[in-house]
Amino acid sequence: MNYQILDKINSPDDIKTLNTEEIKKLCGEIREFLIENVSKTGGHLAPNLGVVELTIALHRVFNSPIDKIVWDVGHQTYVHKIITGRRKDFHTLRKYGGLSGFPKFKESVHDHFETGHSSTSISAALGMALAREIKGENYNVVAVIGDGAMTGGMAFEALNFAGHKQDCRLIVVLNDNEMSITNNVGGLSCYLNRLRTDSKYTKIKKDIQYILNKVPAIGGKLYKSLERVKGSLKYLLVAGILFEELGFKYLGPIDGHNFNVVEDTLRKAKKVDGPVLVHVITKKGKGYWPAENNPQLFHGVGQFDKETGRVIKGKGISFTEVFSKSIIKEGERDPKIIAITAAMAPGTGLEEFAQKYPQRFFDVGIAEQNAVTMAAGLAKEGMTPIFAVYSTFLQRGYDQILHDVCLPNLPVIFAIDRAGIVGADGETHQGIYDIAYLRHIPNITIISPKDGQELRDGIHTALTLKMPVAIRYPRDTVIDEFIDYNSPGILENKGQVLKGGKDVLIISTGVTSNISLEGAQKLLDVGIKATVVHFPYIKPFDKDTLISLAQKHRLALVIEDHTKIGGFGELVSSLFIEENINCKLLSISLPDKFIEHGSRKEILDKYGISAEGIYNKIIKEISGVGYGKESAIRPVIG
């Protein structure tokens, strides 16, 4: 597709010379380009449609890469990427080996801070601005943060300190579209809403001015006192008083789609000698009616038909859907069950529970630390809280899990979705550290179901244990056709032999046990009989089953969709050593590096977490040294 203006834009300098008409045209072309491309690749369409004018204005007013623009979350940087020379690669967005959906140093000098988790931009920008002061350099640092991200605690930690540093120029642009993924929540959101809509300040100011104009003869004292009242209004009603009191000069609220107003206000902010916050009002999904009408659906969307806006649905039932149905059933059974989300109700499957039990559902905003300790408080008072959260985002609440839940042994359930490789979101979102960050905490139980029924039973079991329990499951579909939601069983903490063999023992947990079975089948095709054992609990761990099976084999393989360090494999290998098991143990897990984006299957295959990977690992071992004619497994191939 050809674009009259966009085709000429290869760097931020190319937009600095455009006139207002050309900019308007460019905004339309960028929206067209986004819809066209994201309809094919999937991605964060609505957030990006909402920041077209803002992004262009930022790159016209500020001079990246000398000036530093730091985005919050970073899911709304597609326009930034288009302007900074990456348009030609947009067909590779979120694809293996292609453009990331988030800022990456390796992609561009204009990506000034890497991100993917919320509420970090002000802290990062503040650090960069302080460095500038210390080095005696002179450039602008701008944080661009959404109203959802502003509900994250660390944003306030940063505002608190930045506002105090009156000698440190920092520009914070608050992109307020009234949305997080769902409608934004909390007192801040209500306050921002008042700022958006409250014309009380301007009305009263006009009324006083009317009096002053109409009755100039009222003379000295009264006139002066009215003047003072008008002046002090600023402290009673001034828009942005919250930010002003924290030490920020507040500019706004302004229409984030009126390009000239945005550019003029950013130029004003640039001149402020100290911290300044620019409050920009935008519409999430602007310019594409399906996204404007449903910004939640188009926040992070799969492939869709751009003519109709119909999203192309994947096949099968997801683990999230199983959780969603399970929590409803448990909620019917136990009125003490409370569901908590940190701004992720749709992704974690809590929307139906929220509709059915609004009094027992809490969306705390992007505030995982608060979610964990609030759950601890609920549990302390006899409730049964379940915090549904992505593995990667639960990392934010580590200290609270340890100190506020597990140390006092309070019965909080962590429904950990997106555990394992997530795919397109890449490094910042992979759920591959939770075994490592949870298993060493005393009192915690970790359940790792292999299919939908085990997830259903695991949730029910967790609720009966009355102790801290984490249940981890992937961004994937379940393999079982029928799941009995009505009469869940108790998921026993016992290793399950899924397939009997004698030549090699394959050890796994969670959905990876299904891969183990596939690997065993590939080995059987060449005459190697593998035993497959699945452990539905990671902690406490059924070591008796492991030991008794390991003692009957000369070769074993442990496989997991988790980082090697601190993972399930290390648990198994430590037991082999402790129990002096005379069986060689191989392992397949993720290496000690950040794992790139691509589809979940592509990434699992790349790192050998697959039937192929199991087959190759075992065959290589058998065909290698030490398996001569006396070995338990004679080379059966080659």
Ligand X SMILES: Cc1ncc(C[n+]2csc(CCOP(=O)(O)OP(=O)(O)O)c2C)c(N)n1
422 binds, among ligand DXP, Mg ion, ligand X, none (CB under 5 to 8 A by kind): ligand DXP
104 binds, among Mg ion, ligand X, ligand DXP, none (CB under 5 to 8 A by kind): none
Which residue in 368, 454, 560, 570 is the catalytic one?
Answer: 368
Q: Of the listed pieces 82-90, 146-154, 332-340, 508-516, which binds ligand X according to CB under 6 A?
A: 146-154
Q: Is 147 annotated as a binding residue?
A: yes
3-state secondary structure 121-167: HHHHHHHHHHHHHHHCCCCCEEEEEECCHHHCHHHHHHHHHHHHCCC
Closer to ligand DXP at the Cβ: 155 or 168? Answer: 155
> Which of 24, 79, 15 is CA-nearest to residue 46?
79
d(CA 565, CA 543): 20
- Candidates 364, 366, 379, 556: give the one binding ligand X (CB under 6 A): 366
Q: Restricting to residues 381-400, name those near ligand X by CB under 6 A.
A: 393, 396
Residue ranges binding Mg ion (CB under 5 A): 146-148, 177, 179
Q: How far is the CB of 500 from Mg ion (least distance, A)?
A: 54
439 binds, among ligand X, ligand DXP, Mg ion, none (CB under 5 to 8 A by kind): none
> Which of 187, 73, 166, 164 is CA-nearest to residue 119?
73
Q: Is 368 annotated as a binding residue?
A: yes
d(CA 373, CA 368): 9
Q: Please, what is the Cα angle at 231 between 228 and 233, to 5 degrees?
A: 110
Chain Cα centroid distance, residue 468: 23
Which residue in 31, 284, 600, 617 is the catalytic one?
Answer: 284
> What are the residue ranges of helices labelled H in 381-476?
391-394, 398-400, 434-438, 452-465
Closer to ligand X at the Cβ: 347 or 458? Answer: 347
Tell me the number of residues near ligand DXP by CB under 6 A.
9
Q: Please, what is the Cα angle at 102 between 270 and 563, to 5 degrees?
A: 135
Each residue 225-244 as x (binds ligand X by CB under 6 A) or -, in order, gives --------------------
Q: How far is the CB of 30 from ligand DXP (least distance, A)?
A: 20
Tell me whether residue 396 is one of the annotated catalytic residues.
yes
The verdict on 347 binding ligand DXP (CB under 6 A) reads yes
d(CA 3, CA 618): 54
Closer to ligand DXP at the Cβ: 246 or 421? Answer: 421
Tell me whether residue 554 is one of the annotated catalytic residues.
no
Residues 340 and 365: beta-carbon distance below 8 Å: no
The verdict on 418 binding ligand DXP (CB under 6 A) reads yes
Closer to Mg ion at the Cβ: 169 or 283? Answer: 283
Burial of 577 (0-12, 13-18, 19+ CB in 10 A): exposed
- Supply φ then ψ for residue 619, to 5 degrees: -60, -40
Q: Is 118 annotated as a binding residue?
A: yes
Closer to ligand DXP at the Cβ: 115 or 140? Answer: 115
The torsion of the CA quartet 49, 54, 59, 62, rounded to 10 degrees, works out to: -160
Residues 141 and 129: beta-carbon distance below 8 Å: yes
Residues 435 and 446: beta-carbon distance below 8 Å: yes
d(CA 543, CA 539): 10
Q: How far is the CB of 94 from ligand X (least distance, A)?
A: 14
Closer to ligand X at the Cβ: 42 or 146? Answer: 146
Closer to ligand X at the Cβ: 75 or 450? Answer: 75
396 binds, among ligand DXP, Mg ion, ligand X, none (CB under 5 to 8 A by kind): ligand X
Residues 42 and 599: beta-carbon distance below 8 Å: no
Q: Is 186 annotated as a binding residue?
A: no
Q: Restricting to residues 52-91, name those near ligand DXP by CB under 6 A.
A: 73, 75
348 binds, among ligand DXP, ligand X, Mg ion, none (CB under 5 to 8 A by kind): none
d(CA 553, CA 209): 91
Residues 434 and 444: beta-carbon distance below 8 Å: no
Tell me whether residue 53 is one of the annotated catalytic residues.
no
DSSP 469-519: EEEE--SSB-S-S----SS-----S--EEEE--SSEEEEEETTHHHHHHHH
Binding site for Mg(2+), by residue number, is 147, 177
Binding site for ligand X (CB under 6 A): 47, 50, 72-73, 75-76, 117-118, 146-149, 175, 177, 179-181, 284, 299, 342-344, 366, 393, 396
Q: Which are the catalytic amino acids?
A: 284, 368, 396
* Residues near ligand DXP (CB under 6 A): 73, 75, 299-300, 347, 418, 422, 425, 475
Q: Which residues are annotated as a binding site for thiamine diphosphate?
A: 75, 116-118, 148-149, 177, 288, 368
